[in-house]
Amino acid sequence: MATETATEKKATMKVMKADDQPKIQELSAEERQDLINAIQEEMDARNKEITEKYYIVEGGADAGEKFVAFLSTDAQWKFTEAIGILEAIKEIKVAIEKAKKDKNLFLQVLPLEALWFFINKIEGFGSEKAKAYHDNLLKPVAEALGRVKADRDAINALAMRQGALEAGADFEPPKA
């Protein structure tokens, strides 16, 4: 029976699910540190992926046009927040041009979070404006940010596993 090399074991541990992880007492200090380092590499890669990833926003180019209209005329800002509006508009306009060709609007995290920031400042009156606000701004941005949150939750789970390993405790995944 062939024995597993340290590199093979590290690669195997990296892809294990939390409940498949060996007990902390079964790992040597070097193996534990290798696993901690592998988890950190995975978290770094996933964080980079999130910042570069494009998330689909329901509504295509029409939604993008509504976002630009909102940011251009209705978004409330103070001081340097003006730069956020200008940059978000620039990014969304590029995405709109692409959406006109392939019918899907894709935005990165930064313009999505900027939109969320500015739409959360809105105050209004009446159900007609509330429905338009919900349907045209809040809902599409919230759904896209939900996908961002799912990606970040996966990173947070890795961070919890890493913290448990660093503390010398067995990892207990949260109960659903």
What share of the chain has pLDDT > 90, as a percent? 58
Long-range Cβ contacts of 132-140 (<8 Å, 24+ apart): 136/59, 136/63, 136/66, 136/70, 137/66, 137/67, 137/70, 139/58, 140/57, 140/58, 140/59, 140/63
Long-range Cβ contacts of 97-106 (<8 Å, 24+ apart): 99/60, 99/61, 99/64, 100/61, 103/60, 103/61, 104/56, 104/60, 105/56, 105/57, 105/58, 105/59, 105/60, 105/61, 105/63, 105/64, 106/54, 106/55, 106/56, 106/57
Q: Which residue has the tokens 């390993």?
A: 165
Q: What average pLDDT does the segment 9-13 reach?
A: 48
Domain count for the chain, please give it: 1
pTM score: 0.71
Give the confidence band of 1 by pLDDT, cuts at 50, 70, 90.
Answer: very low
| Residue 77 included in any domain | yes
| Residue 6 included in any domain | no
Express each pLDDT in 43-55 by its tens digit: 999 999 998 999 9
| Residue 173 included in any domain | no
Q: For residue 102, what pLDDT is reported?
A: 87
Give the confidence band of 31 by pLDDT, cuts at 50, 70, 90.
Answer: confident
| Residue 134 included in any domain | yes
Token output for 41: 């590499």
| Residue 146 included in any domain | yes
| Residue 108 included in any domain | yes
Higher pLDDT, residue 3 or 95 = 95
Assess whether pLDDT exceeds 50 at residue 68: yes
Q: For residue 18, what pLDDT is reported?
A: 47
What share of the chain has pLDDT > 70, as a percent? 80
Assess whether pLDDT exceeds 70 at residue 11: no
| Residue 16 included in any domain | no
Express each pLDDT in 74-100 by its tens digit: 999 999 999 999 999 999 999 999 999
Q: How far is CA 14 from CA 47, 157, 160, 161, in A?
A: 17, 14, 15, 11
**Rounded-to-integer distance, Cα 174 and Cα 150, Å:** 15
- Per the structure, the complete domain to which residue 60 belongs is given by 55-152
Assess whether pLDDT exceeds 90 at residue 146: yes
Assess whether pLDDT exceeds 90 at residue 10: no
| Residue 34 included in any domain | no
